[in-house]
């Protein structure tokens, strides 16, 4: 299996600590402003000035609060009179406007049915909600932080917020919403600007609505993590532009959501979607432009989704899709352009891979020595559509390996120039009575200049099979297979070797259609059953060795229904 460790140039795994664990700061010594606090009906209003201020709202339940100012901040009534504190009862909505300055607002015991609105203005502001030991209930939370390094923290045992809208503006911003008990959020929208944006949504059993995070430019991190189950009743959308982005959506147990769209933009980026059982009702879409992208989509016991699309653009990219059972009720499309691409679908632990549509892969340019390629591995592989792979210059390693059963409509591989290794195998014994084709249409392989190695085993191809190898030193290995349609193998200049039943597996290979081999220039060798296995040709065989000293070596188990037509090649019976 192709697999390489994540590149050290990426943000290290220790960067998980990059997600905020923010605690309240001590009061600043330069507080010297005024804050007005008053009640109108069911609304509590708090308004600061351009100085750096700090106020505390202590809730006792039922919408009742005590408003106090920290040392250095003067609390004012609506008429301008200085007050020590404000008792506000039966509050449904809280409107806080701190204006410019480095402000701190702490709210505990918040239980309101309506809106908590916070406008911090420019400056390094902190909005701290909860005390990690109580309950926070908000109908809605909106925060407009302005420019500056801002912190928003909601942390309690139980957190329930109906709707969230946060705009952090430019600066290094940290947004955390954490609960150890009940965690319920409605629709959430979090927007950042230039510089660093760090968003953490964390709980045990989590239920949320749609989540949209727009981090813009800068070094950004978004983590949505559940210690048990995560249920997102809407889409997850994460947008970045330039800069390095870390996006992680994970649950220890069940992870259910609708569509997921992650646009990583330029930079060194990573996206992880992890859980024990992952069910994405909609599509999974991951986009990148320049930079190196690392994508992992994994369900330990089960991964199910409608489709997977990853377009990662230029530079070196890695995609891993795995799980014990993988079900894609649509298609998989994976694309890279320049750089080294490594795409893995399935793993040694994957029992079943089912794709009801097609699998389309574009590897771009890359080098085999550094791990460029596609690996599809599982016990049982079923692709109801076509498997299509295209790559440009560079060495490519393409492996399709079903250790038990293989079922694909058709396969088309175009690897371009470079030294390529192509392996398509299954663990099926296709020679048994009643065996049906495991490739339902055509098998087509085309490569450009370079030394290519093609290995197929355990295949039953219903349609036509063709291999166009181009210039170079090429090797074709065929074992334990049945080809119902015509087979055509062609290469240009170079030394080519074709081995049919040279593995000594004792099963044999049968060709029911016309077999045509054109080897052009070079000293070429065709070996048929020299290890003692059976090779049966039930139709015509035409071999043209082209220029060079060419040989066809046939073992005792080779059976030609018709005398083969041989040109520029010597037949040796061994």
* CA end-to-end span of the chain: 36
- Dihedral (CA of 48, 49, 50, 54) sign: negative
* Selection from 13-22, 234-243, 314-323, 454-463 with the highest mean pLDDT: 454-463
Tokens of 554: 């046939």
Q: How many CB atoms lie within 10 A of CB 219?
A: 21
**Cα–Cα nearest to 56, from 81, 32, 78, 85:** 85
Q: Which of 98-102, 363-367, 450-454, 523-527 has the lowest mean pLDDT?
A: 363-367
Query: Exposed, middle or buried: residue 557 (CB in 10 Å: 0-12, 13-18, 19+)?
Result: middle
What average pLDDT does this structure show over 166-192?
Answer: 96
Q: At residue 376, what are phi and psi to the nearest 5 degrees?
A: -120, 110
Query: What band does 367 get if pLDDT is binned at 50, 70 and 90?
Result: low
What average pLDDT does this structure show over 385-401?
Answer: 91
Q: Is the pLDDT of residue 175 over 70?
A: yes
Query: What band does 9 get if pLDDT is binned at 50, 70 and 90?
Result: very low
Task: Please provide the average confidence, as pLDDT, over all residues in the chain.
Answer: 91
What confidence tens digit (pLDDT) does each residue in 432-474 have?
Answer: 888 999 999 999 999 888 889 999 999 999 999 999 998 889 9
Q: Is the pLDDT of residue 514 over 80?
A: yes
Q: How many residues does the chain have?
A: 574
Taking the CA atoms of the chain, what radius of gyration do you get in angstroms? 32
d(CA 278, CA 374): 23
Query: What band does 21 get if pLDDT is binned at 50, 70 and 90?
Result: very low
Residue 439 is classified by DSSP as: B
Query: Exposed, middle or buried: residue 17 (CB in 10 Å: 0-12, 13-18, 19+)?
Result: exposed
What confidence tens digit (pLDDT) does each residue in 258-271 have?
Answer: 999 999 878 889 99
Strands 82-83 and 74-76: antiparallel
What confidence tens digit (pLDDT) does each residue in 82-105 have?
Answer: 999 999 999 999 999 999 999 999
3-state DSSP assignment of residue 15:
helix
- Dihedral (CA of 302, 353, 245, 143) sign: negative
- Dihedral (CA of 369, 415, 336, 374) sign: negative
What average pLDDT does this structure show over 120-132?
Answer: 96
Check residue 40 and give its pLDDT: 98
Check residue 388 and give its pLDDT: 98
Q: Is the pLDDT of residue 14 over 70?
A: no
CA atoms within 13 A on the CB side of 62: 5
CA angle 246, 373, 517 (to 5 degrees): 165
Check residue 549 and give its pLDDT: 93
Q: Give one DSSP letter per residue of 338-393, joined into a string.
A: SS-EEEEES-TT--EEEESS-EEEEEES--GGGT-EEEEEEEEEEEEEEEEEEE-S
Q: Is the pLDDT of residue 290 over 70?
A: yes
Tokens of 235: 């889409």
Q: Give one DSSP letter per residue of 514-544, joined into a string.
A: -EEEE--SS--EEEESTTS--EEE-S-EEEE
Residue 24 is classified by DSSP as: P
**Cα–Cα nearest to 112, from 78, 135, 96, 128:** 135
Query: What band does 370 get if pLDDT is binned at 50, 70 and 90?
Result: low
What confidence tens digit (pLDDT) does each residue in 32-46 have?
Answer: 799 999 999 999 999
3-state DSSP assignment of residue 16:
helix
**Cα–Cα nearest to 405, from 383, 441, 429, 380:** 380
d(CA 136, CA 189): 19
Contacts of 185 (CB under 8 A, 6+ apart): 159, 160, 161, 164, 177, 201, 206, 207, 208, 209, 211
Facing residues of 135 across strands? Answer: 158
Q: Is the pLDDT of residue 112 over 90?
A: yes
CA atoms within 13 A on the CB side of 463: 13
- Dihedral (CA of 241, 243, 244, 248) sign: negative
d(CA 532, CA 534): 7
Facing residues of 468 across strands? Answer: 446, 490
Tokens of 181: 């008990």
């Amino acid at each position: 299996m192709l697999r390489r460790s994540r590149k050290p140039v990426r943000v290290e795994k220790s960067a998980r600590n990059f997600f905020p664990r923010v605690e309240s700061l001590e009061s600043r010594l330069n507080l010297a402003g005024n804050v007005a606090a008053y009640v109108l009906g069911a609304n509590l209003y708090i308004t600061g000035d351009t100085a750096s201020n700090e106020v505390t709202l202590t809730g006792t339940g039922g919408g009742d609060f005590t408003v106090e100012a920290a040392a250095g901040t003067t609390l004012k009534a609506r008429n301008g009179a200085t007050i020590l504190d404000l008792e506000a009862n039966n509050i449904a909505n809280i409107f806080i406007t701190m204006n410019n300055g480095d402000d701190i607002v702490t709210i505990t015991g918040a239980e309101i049915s309506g809106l908590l609105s916070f406008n911090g203005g420019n400056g390094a502001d902190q909005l701290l909600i909860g005390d990690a030991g109580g309950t926070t209930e908000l109908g809605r939370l909106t925060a407009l932080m302005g420019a500056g390094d801002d912190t928003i923290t909601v942390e309690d045992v139980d957190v329930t917020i109906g709707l969230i809208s946060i705009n952090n503006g430019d600066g290094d911003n940290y947004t955390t919403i954490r609960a150890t008990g009940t965690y319920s959020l409605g629709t959430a929208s979090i927007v950042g600007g230039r510089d660093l944006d760090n968003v953490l949504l964390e709980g045990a059993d989590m239920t949320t609505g749609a989540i949209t995070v727009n981090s813009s430019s800068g070094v950004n991190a978004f983590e949505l993590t559940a210690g048990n189950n995560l249920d997102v009743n809407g889409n997850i959308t994460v947008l970045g532009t330039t800069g390095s982005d870390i996006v992680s959506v994970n649950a220890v147990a069940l992870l259910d959501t609708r569509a997921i769209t992650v646009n990583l933009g330029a930079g060194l980026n990573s996206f992880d979607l992890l859980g024990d059982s992952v069910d994405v009702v909609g599509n999974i879409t991951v986009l990148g432009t320049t930079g190196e992208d690392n994508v992992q989509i994994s369900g330990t016991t089960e991964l199910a989704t409608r489709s997977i699309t990853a377009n990662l653009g230029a530079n070196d990219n890695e995609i891993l899709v795995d799980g014990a059972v993988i079900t894609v009720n649509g298609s998989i499309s994976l694309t890279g352009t320049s750089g080294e691409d490594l795409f893995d679908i399935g793993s040694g632990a994957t029992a079943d891979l089912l794709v009801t549509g097609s699998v389309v892969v574009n590897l771009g340019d890359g080098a085999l020595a550094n791990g460029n390629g596609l690996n599809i591995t599982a016990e049982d592989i079923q692709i109801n559509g076509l498997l299509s792979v295209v790559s440009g210059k560079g060495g490519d390693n393409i492996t399709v390996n079903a250790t038990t059963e293989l079922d694909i409509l058709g396969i088309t591989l175009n690897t371009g120039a470079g030294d390529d290794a192509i392996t398509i195998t299954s663990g099926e014994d296709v020679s048994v009575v009643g065996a049906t084709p495991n490739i339902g249409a055509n098998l087509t392989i085309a490569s450009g200049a370079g030394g290519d190695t093609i290995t197929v085993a355990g295949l039953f191809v219903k349609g036509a099979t063709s291999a166009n190898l181009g210039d170079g030193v090429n090797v074709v290995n065929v074992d334990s297979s049945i080809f119902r349609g015509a087979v055509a193998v062609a290469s240009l200049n170079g030394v080519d070797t074709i081995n049919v039943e040279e593995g000594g597996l004792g099963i044999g290979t049968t060709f029911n259609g016309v077999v045509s081999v054109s080897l052009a220039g070079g000293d070429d060798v065709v070996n048929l059953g020299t290890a003692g296995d059976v090779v049966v040709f039930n139709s015509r065989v035409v071999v043209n060795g082209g220029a060079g000293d060419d040989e066809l070596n046939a073992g005792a188990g080779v059976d030609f229904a018709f005398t083969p037509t041989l040109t520029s090649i010597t037949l040796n019976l061994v």
